Amino acid sequence: MIKVAMTGVYVDDVARAHAFYTDVLGFETRIRVDLGDGNLFVTVGAPDGAQPDLQLLLEPGQSPIAESYRTALYEAGLPSIVFSVDDLPGEYERLRDLGVRFTHAPQDQGPVLAAVLDDSLGNLVQLTQPKG
């Protein structure tokens, strides 16, 4: 059986992304290694033992390939990553109260409710909640 172990998201600043993804979105730090010269290797994951074998790598996005990829996604209004939540209206309000900017509020999208936020690190992030 093949399972997803790690996936990455390119960010403008790994340290700032680490703070946003943990302090604001609520992920927990799985790995944080200082590689020297201001470079960090950071992964985060769902808290409280949920999805223990799945990590999100916060990758430096300064390479030409990463920058063009992120810019194209952002300008097209496409999320670079999708997260699921149990209570989208509640998360939407909580995150807005923390100053997170959304490009669209929760709305029906087929089998899910979905909203899109700007992580302020060069990415749009979609939050989804299954309907029913």
Determine the Cα–Cα distance for residues 86 and 46; give it in Å rounded to an integer.
13
DSSP 8-state class, residue 20: I
Which residue in 81, 19, 30, 82 sits closest to 55, CA to CA? 30
The position carrying tokens 């992030």 is 125
Predicted model pTM = 0.93
Query: Residue 128 and residue 47: Cα distance in Å, rounded?
Result: 17
8-65, pLDDT tens digit by residue?
999 999 999 999 999 999 999 999 999 999 899 999 999 999 999 999 999 999 999 9
Q: Decide if pLDDT at 5 tops 80.
A: yes
Predicted pLDDT at 36: 92
| Contact assessment for residue 119 and residue 14, using Cβ atoms and an 8 Å cutoff | no
Residue 86: pLDDT above 80?
A: yes
